[in-house]
Structure 1
């Protein structure tokens, strides 16, 4: 993790530009979510595991083409990567490596031909390169290039000097990224509202009225964020390396123990001769199997940690090089993937041992009465790893505060309904859901910009959009208040609006938000709102909307730990649960704002989440989390540990979004495109 001292020339001529899969120069390098890069063709050639939707389910019929889950393992870090059937096209190009590959070709290709002579049907060796046009030219075309009014001031440099490395930085300076939508345009600026690079045509057609700034002014914010994450990785690496050393030493000690015990048993066997040969062989087999099984486990964990360490090293080297030699737009175009990956690595849990094998040999008395007693037996047990050895594996946990009722082995489906309103002109996108005191169901239809009220069996009672100054812009989430009115977050208008269930406006809370998403209430009836732009939580008086407190969501070092928060819920103890889709996990805070615990890492296995969306808590403290991309509902115990997957694709669940508990104690979930389902789970 040390900062690189290599020059640009050294970097270009190093193995940094070699694909780790094919070991050749990168061809159209693609950036994977784990921040390793592969050639696009190499991605297509990697072995894949395909998971199809559950058969004979209505939800599978609604899955768009390309949503069949395909996975492959990164050849560098063995991370599981998911992609649609289109393969590498889902991964963005690694602009940094691509431009360095172009520079490498300029310096090493010896058979470059004049681009202009090609148009005349001639093949002439190129002697120079126009940095403005990126065209190869022969001597005659170079001379003509300098005589035209448009190109006379272009910077043309000889290939002889390029190959000697005299123009590396000049070539880098003239390299630009092209717009994917407008191929002839270069990306020239950055939209801070959309966090996207754009060309002049994009500014006009897609970013009208947005805050547009140049790359140099946009870079500091993301550069600081990435450098901070790199610094966090630096603090993470020593603990992994120390644990790798512990596992190596443990394996060596096991080998020594095994050899010593085998020697002791052989000595005992020799004293008892053939009478105890059978017993000796049996116990030696037990010793070998116990020790070697333990060694295999330790070596497997060691190998996994070494792979993780290598991955962190590779990520760090890539990012150090990117921050040292990358252009602003190259950094900015990858900032989301970088931030997501680094956050995952920082929060990565070490897969270490929870107990060590304690094995010994207890010799028996040298008599002939009982062969088993004579020969002795093994003391074969597991002992907990000491606190000093397992400190790196410890983490905060919530406390179970009640006796929990049993959960059904299979959730019982009760009913479903489509949350359709009237005069819909777009697909239904039910991002928010809440249950009122009368057991009515309030649904936020984000894309149709409506609030819809249904009764407990799915009959539409009312729909509204607000009026005049209180008209809803882009709503996201909803919560029911103690007076049975509902509060809705509106991230276009940057406020929270309170309505009666008849659609009458009661209150607007504004001035505190930049991009409000999730909303909920606590035991006092106070309104809690999570702001994804400001990465914080605010608490408001439900009657006046006045700010009661701001929870900055910081760790012990004062760093913000919310990356891309979506939904929020509270427990009976008023602990705050926030789903964070970029981490991705669930983060837990108390009402004083102290970070308590977290659940979930990136993936498809148990305790893993691809995209956590809605979250809610029932009266017993059970926690329900919608995993949108894994098509399943996590049921967690009040201590934050996984109880089971309550619902999966096998139960016809498809892209779950918002979740809730009805007044009758039934679990509810909304799905992409508008389906709402109710289940009995206790």
Structure 2
């Protein structure tokens, strides 16, 4: 709050200046926001027409369907509704009005005697009656003191008024007039109606009310107002601190803006420079290769042209010799002629052994790749007061490499049925993995088998395990770094590891209730998602020991894995899990923190009916099998939908497991055993 001023200081300050016109207040009116303006200034402010429907917050104060005018307070910008009576209907600010009168007493020059004006005279006033508030000349002053009614009034000289000697006396004698009874002054307060009264008011509607004088009425309201002022005082430091925070925040934002603009400009210039350097290098190589080949071709051409001319001359000479030469002339040169002609017949033409084939294969000049090279703007909101550290690192899926173009329609390469031998039930290929030799490993859940096919679908091996290691109900499979096969078995509640020939190596048990999806990370560790325990476990591939448990929590610490199916990892070791409960794709970092989500339940774009297999290619593209919608979702590495890679129109039917071959082809298994192979880049 401001330091309290003396009355004299207050009257001489800008306290009496209207914020709109910047002049002394003229008929000051108190607005609902407690700011005051001249009545005329209120009238001059821009007004807007509004109605109840447009102002729901104030509908209790607006008659139904009534059109009102409103304006903005120039100090606090609050919206103020104009009362029915216009600006004059606002409460008069009696405090400012009386202070302005005091200011005029002290500063107005050329004040004239009020009594002489009644007689049609203009005489300078020299005195002021504090009781009547009348200006008087010297003669009228003397008459005023001789009149019985006014002889006790306090009359003071204007010179002393202007010097501020009677400020408090003037204020003490200033009274408020009754708006209803203009000739009466307000003298008392009705506590029932909470309004000021004049003597005439007391004889009408307030006869039976509790009427007290101002001094007795003030303590209650003074205490209330002082309490509110105290509350305001306690709030002001926090508001001031927040203002300082906002100023500093705005300053930091401006600095950040300038720095980011400079950084993006530098990055763009660097890319331009590198592109120009690469272009110059390519063009230099083009020129050198083409010019070297052109020079060689020119040399060959020149030599052949000389040989051609020589042969032409030889032929012409010999034709003439044979036509017109005498026998002895031919015979004398026959050795030279025979030798030369024999050389020419046996001569090999010095031509090109190979032609230069040169071309330009343009890179994928997509907007996505340009953005990847230039950089991505991290633009999000964090709660005020929370630490900003580590907000940008690992907070989302990101595109970290240039992406190749995806074919508008993937090229179908081949398909095969994943049939084995001696099978009594339909094939249900719930899992698929790829070996280092590009062999395809299929989990046949209902026939309780693991089948290994070569890259064109020829069955190489099938096994079910033996004795204690016999496979119960397998679900998913992955290939470990040593090219062995690890599968989940939810009937036996374990993970088994076999060689590709079916020899059992390891069983991991004691950690699972219903293991489903299985994969590995960049360290070769085994990750298993358990649908009953709604968690992910990480295991040592050598001995199966538990490395860590990932519960999969949201930002509030709640478990969000409901019915998880499949699992895969990105090159950054982020974990992607498909879940029948939306959002259907949940992404965690290795610490188990949720960093991204994708998909809701349904048939529309970015919706999934039943998410099954999921995999990631070398570029970070994410593939998701939407089993009930008969389609494959292709997501960019940042988790945004790129397109539907395959749909029912491509003959896809209930896709289950998905994977990428070593040659970079996309594989998908379907219900009842069909496996399809596509070239998508």
TM-score by length of 1: 0.43
Quick check: which has more Rg, 1 or 2?
A: 2
TM-score by length of 2: 0.43
Bigger relative contact order (CA 8 A; separation at least 6):
1
